């Protein structure tokens, strides 16, 4: 019997809540809380088992702690925005409650994400005897577990890692992002960065690209080098890795719109005065773009996210490609979501399940690759994200 408090009623929150509510033997009591309670109530109408809902401003650790004290969950699943990671972790510390999220902290006024801020909670979580599991989405999340699985079972030593994220779906809109537009555009317009021989190498935004041939009829797609947070934790925890990169596909149409929006200043996070009111252009842009949670109905096609890992097995050079393919329309049929929210929400549910079943446990702050990949990989197959690998 385990109670969970889920914070954030967006695209990802909808999937986590519905998936958790399908497993009452693990998640016996669920409360969904968010800034706008009506969004929680709307999701609650569609869950397999009944859930509670609440209003909370998760920027305020006191409000979160108060909610935790009244609901008494064993675990808080944070699927609000990265800005809320630290206030929610503070509330977990204050109340002695376990914590899980899907994206690392970034300050609102600087588009810079890194694990430093959350890793600094290590000693305090340890002393309190509680666990924080960071980045339990797909990337970060499943990609970390895929890498740990390859490291445990398929290669003796990993040398290079390329994480490749392909969304070959089409939502039929002129321009939309497939998760929170503010966070997405901050990430995509940032400089690229990869790890090589102990150093981080920076590249101008989206300046490096190549064509990659994806499996199962997805075919050739252009992939662009970006920085992604799991690179930071993976090279720390798997020190044999000497090169680690992250790549993502973008359509020409997405890039064309993004370029224009950037050129006219709409992606800026510097406040401007408009009619006497201070507004942040990127936040205004988010308000006029389609809500990613609403794209499910019209999105067709597949995602393919995986890791291309090179290293040695029994003294021989080997290459492993391990990946999941997810179909947008199948996700919508199951939980009324497109595949991006689905591929994030399902691993958040599985990470929480690992913690509640004590298959993953510890005191302190952990990244996914520090845990045994096997039970998580088993559950990916059971709960909607089957994986495959090729080795040569
Ligand atoms: P959405 O914008 O759809 O949802 C965010 C939700 O958080 C909204 O319901 C919003 O409330 C709520 N929220 C925002 N601020 C607060 C606050 N101060 N207090 C309480 N609730 C708040 O985002 P997504 O669902 O697309 O993304 C959720 C998270 O998942 C993000 O952190 C994102 O970075 C992460 N993610 C991770 C991925 C991975 O693979 N690891 C992939 C995709 C996303 P309101 O409705 O009032 O705005």
Rounded distance from Cα 8 to ligand 1 centre (Å): 6
Measured between alpha carbons, how far is 262 from 259 in angstroms, rounded to an integer?
Answer: 5
Q: Beta strand 52-55 with 272-274: parallel, antiparallel or unpaired?
A: unpaired
CA angle 336, 79, 250 (to 5 degrees): 65
Start-to-end CA distance of the chain, whole Å, equals 45
Q: Which DSSP string corresponds to 245-308? A: EEEEE--HHHHHHHHHHHHTTTT--S-EEETTEEE-HHHHHHHHSPPGGG-GGG-BSEEEEEEE
Q: Measuring CA to CA, how many Å separate 3 from each of 21, 24, 72, 304, 343?
A: 11, 10, 7, 33, 23
Q: What is the band of 112 on the pLDDT scale with cuts at 50, 70, 90?
A: confident
Q: Quick: pLDDT tens for 57-104.
A: 999 999 999 999 999 999 999 999 999 999 999 999 999 999 999 999
Residue 122 inside a domain? The answer is no
Triad 248, 250, 254: Cα angle to 5°? 145
Domain that holds residue 218: 142-336
Confidence (pLDDT) at 180: 85
pLDDT at 382 over 80: yes
- Cβ-based neighbours of 253, under 8 Å, separated by 6 or more: 174, 175
What's the mean pLDDT in 341-360?
98
Sign of CA pseudo-dihedral 286, 287, 293, 296: negative
pLDDT at 121 (0 to 100): 98
The number of residues in the chain equals 392
Query: Does 277 have pLDDT greater than 70?
Result: yes
Which of 8, 38, 99, 181 has most ligand 1 atoms within 8 Å of its beta carbon, as the pocket-test mutant? 8
125, 132 in Cβ contact below 8 A? yes
296 lines ligand 1 (CB under 6 A): no
* Block residue for tokens 């973008």: 250
Q: What is the mean pLDDT of residues 145-170?
A: 97
87 closest CA partner among 57, 111, 59: 59
Ligand 1 lined by 67 (C-beta under 6 Å):
no
Q: What is the mean pLDDT of the chain?
A: 96
pLDDT tens per residue across span 318-347: 999 999 999 999 999 999 999 999 999 999
* Spatial separation of the C-alpha atoms in residues 189 and 267, rounded to whole Å: 8
CA distance 65 to 62: 5
Nearest-CA residue for atom 1 of ligand 1: 10
143 lines ligand 1 (CB under 6 A): no
| Residue 186 predicted with pLDDT over 90 | no
CA distance linking residue 84 with residue 56, whole number of Å: 11
Decide if 290 is inside a domain.
Answer: yes
Most ligand 1 atoms within 8 A of CB, residue of 12, 76, 82, 164 to mutate: 12
Q: How far apart are CA 129 and CA 69, in angstroms?
A: 17
* pLDDT at residue 179, rounded to an integer: 84
If one residue of 5, 18, 35, 57 were mutated to test the ligand 1 pocket, choosing by the most ligand atoms within 8 A of its CB, it would be 35
b/e string for 103-135 if b means 16 or more Cβ within 10 A? bbbbeeeebebebeebbebeeebeebebbbbbb
For residue 296, pLDDT over 70 is answered with yes
pLDDT class of 187 with cuts at 50, 70, 90 = confident
The reported pLDDT for the residue numbered 181 is 85
Closest ligand 1 atom to 291 CA: 3
Tokens coding 227: 């920085």
Centre of ligand 1 from the C-alpha of residue 378, in Å: 27
**Averaged over 235-257, what is the pLDDT?**
95
Residue nearest to ligand 1 atom 44, measured at CA: 179
Residue minimizing CA distance to atom 2 of ligand 1: 180
Give the nearest ligand 1 atom to 12 CA: 25
**Residue 370 confidence (pLDDT) above 90:** yes
Mean pLDDT of 365-382: 98
Give, in order, the Cα–Cα distances in Å from 178 to each of 80, 140, 342: 15, 16, 11
Question: Is the distance from the beta carbon of residue 11 to the nearest atom of ligand 1 less than 6 Å?
Answer: yes
Given this model, what pLDDT does residue 1 score?
67
Instruction: Determine whether 381 is exposed, middle or buried from the number of CB atoms within 10 Å of its CB (0-12, 13-18, 19+).
Output: exposed
Q: Which two tokens stand for residue 193?
A: 């960065």
Pick from 278, 321, 344, 313: nearest CA to 139: 344
Q: Is residue 181 part of a domain?
A: yes
**Any domain includes 282:** yes
Per the domain annotation, does 40 fall within a domain? Answer: no
| Residue whose CA is at the smallest distance from ligand 1 atom 4 | 10
Residue 353 lies in a domain: no
Does residue 110 lie within any of the structural domains?
no
Banded model confidence at residue 110, pLDDT cuts 50, 70, 90: confident
Answer whether residue 176 shows pLDDT above 70.
yes
Average pLDDT over residues 137-157: 98
Of 306, 308, 334, the residue nearest 320 (C-alpha): 308
Instruction: Label residue 108 by pLDDT band (50, 70, 90).
Output: confident
Total structural domains within the chain: 1
The alpha carbon of 36 and the centre of ligand 1 are apart by a number of angstroms equal to: 12
CATH number, residue 328: 3.30.360.10
Q: Ligand 1 within 6 A of 53 CB?
A: no
In a domain, 71, yes or no: no
């Amino acid at each position: 019997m385990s109670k969970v408090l889920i914070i954030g009623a967006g695209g990802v929150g909808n999937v986590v809540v519905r998936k958790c509510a399908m497993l009452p033997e693990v998640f016996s009591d669920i409360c969904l809380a968010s800034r706008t309670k009506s969004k929680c109530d709307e999701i609650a109408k569609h869950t397999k088992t009944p859930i509670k809902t609440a209003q909370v401003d998760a920027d305020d650790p006191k409000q979160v702690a108060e909610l935790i004290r009244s609901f008494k969950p064993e675990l808080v699943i944070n699927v609000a925005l990265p800005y809320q990671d630290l206030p929610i972790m503070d509330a977990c510390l204050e109340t002695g409650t376990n914590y899980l999220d899907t994206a690392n902290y970034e300050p609102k006024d600087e588009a810079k994400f890194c694990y430093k801020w959350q890793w600094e909670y290590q000693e305090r979580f340890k002393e309190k005897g509680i666990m924080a599991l960071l980045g339990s989405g797909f990337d970060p999340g499943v990609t970390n577990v895929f890498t740990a699985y390859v490291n445990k079972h398929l290669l003796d030593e990993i040398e290079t890692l390329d994480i490749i994220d392909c969304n070959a779906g089409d939502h039929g809109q002129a321009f939309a992002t497939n998760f929170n537009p503010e966070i997405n555009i901050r990430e995509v317009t940032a400089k690229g960065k990869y790890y090589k021989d102990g150093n981080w190498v920076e590249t101008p935004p989206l300046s490096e690209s190549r064509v990659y041939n994806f499996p199962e009829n997805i075919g050739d797609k252009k992939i662009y080098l970006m920085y992604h947070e799991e690179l930071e934790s993976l090279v720390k925890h798997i020190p044999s890795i000497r090169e680690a990169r992250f790549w993502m596909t973008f359509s020409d149409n997405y890039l064309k719109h993004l370029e224009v929006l950037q050129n006219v200043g709409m992606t800026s996070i510097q406040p401007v005065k408009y009619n006497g009111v201070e507004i942040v252009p990127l936040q205004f842009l988010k308000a006029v773009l389609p809500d990613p949670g609403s794209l499910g109905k019209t999105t067709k096609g597949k995602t393919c996210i995986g890791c291309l890992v090179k290293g040695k097995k029994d003294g021989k050079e080997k290459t492993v490609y391990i990946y999941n393919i997810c179909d947008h329309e199948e996700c919508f049929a199951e939980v009324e979501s497109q595949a991006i929210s689905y591929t994030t929400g399902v691993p958040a549910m599985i990470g929480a399940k690992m913690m509640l079943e004590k298959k993953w446990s510890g005191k302190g702050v952990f990244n996914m690759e520090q845990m045994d990949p096997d039970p998580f990989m088993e559950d990916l197959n059971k709960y909607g994200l089957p994986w495959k690998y090729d080795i040569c």
